Chains A and B, each alone.
Chain A
Amino acid sequence: DVKVTQSSRYLVKRTGEKVFLECVQDMDHENMFWYRQDPGLGLRLIYFSYDVKMKEKGDIPEGYSVSREKKERFSLILESASTNQTSMYLCASSLWNKGQGADGYTFGSGTRLTVV
């Protein structure tokens, strides 16, 4: 089974802190994604990566950056956390860049981040 593991289930950080959210997948997928989920807004794409050291902005990249130094690991960085970044963050991976195939994307369990 493909596994996508997010290192923290719950995080509480202070405004202005630098925050790292880590995501690791074990199926050698080329493509990895970071989404945030907010009530009434669904899943919104923050950043994605098609290969090591490659990154592309999604729909809402402001206030975030990413790092992909190894194929299996995709990190989301909040340079200076703000209260409007309180959200559920979901990492996903896929074999094809459109996620086409039997099951599209495989998601991690999510990190609930609260910025106070």
Chain B
Amino acid sequence: DQQVKQNSPSLSVQEGRISILNCDYTNSMFDYFLWYKKYPAEGPTFLISISSIKDKNEDGRFTVFLNKSAKHLSLHIVPSQPGDSAVYFCAASGNQFYFGTGTSLTVIP
């Protein structure tokens, strides 16, 4: 029973354009959300987070949006760079962290 879903397994974007990665969750009690980035043969690294009391958090080129009523969050990367090519996992905090299945982003030079 997947409580956090990333419905797009992969995404390709041209360098300089916006990348939008989406994540849906089912449990309205989740109160903290994070995005992790993972390169092959490395562990995931923290990218950005958002508390449920906010609807937006920005850090440089990365912005996370939270729509609690829709149980949806998204990660925007602007402008996208080739080094952003990686697998992105969203995670939601309940009594443990629940991770999505990941979206593989490819930024084409």
**Which residues of chain A come closer than 8 Å to B102, judged between CB atoms?**
42-43
Q: Do B41 and A109 touch (CB < 8 A)?
A: yes
**Which residues of chain B come closer than 8 Å to A74, judged between CB atoms?**
none
- Give A50-79 as 1s and 0s: 1 = Cβ < 8 Å from B's Cβ atoms: 000000001000000000000000000000
Q: Do A105 and B45 touch (CB < 8 A)?
A: no
**Which residues of chain A come closer than 8 Å to B44, judged between CB atoms?**
43, 90, 107
> A residues within 8 Å of B by Cβ?
4, 6, 9, 35, 40-45, 48, 58, 90, 92, 98-100, 102-110, 112
> B residues within 8 Å of A by Cβ?
2, 4, 6, 9, 32, 34, 36, 41-46, 49, 89, 91, 93-97, 99-102
A41 to B49, CA, bound (A): 22
Q: Do B89 and A42 touch (CB < 8 A)?
A: yes
Given contacts A41-B101, A43-B89, contact A110 B96 (CB under 8 A): no
Q: A4's closest neighbor in chain B, by CB?
A: B43
A110 to B46, CA, bound (A): 15
Q: How far is the CB of A22 from chain B (nearest CB, A)?
A: 15
**Which residues of chain A come closer than 8 Å to B100, judged between CB atoms?**
42
Of A48, A58, A102, A112, the contact of B49 (CB 8 Å cutoff): A102
Q: How far is the CB of A56 from chain B (nearest CB, A)?
A: 9
**Which residues of chain B come closer than 8 Å to A107, judged between CB atoms?**
36, 43-45
**Which residues of chain B come closer than 8 Å to A100, judged between CB atoms?**
32, 93
Q: A38's closest neighbor in chain B, by CB?
A: B101
Q: Do A112 and B9 touch (CB < 8 A)?
A: no
Most-contacted residue by chain B among A4, A45, A90, A99 (CB, 10 A): A99
Of B6, B42, B97, the contact of A104 (CB 8 Å cutoff): B97
Given contacts A4-B43, A107-B43, A110-B42, contact A43 B96 (CB under 8 A): no
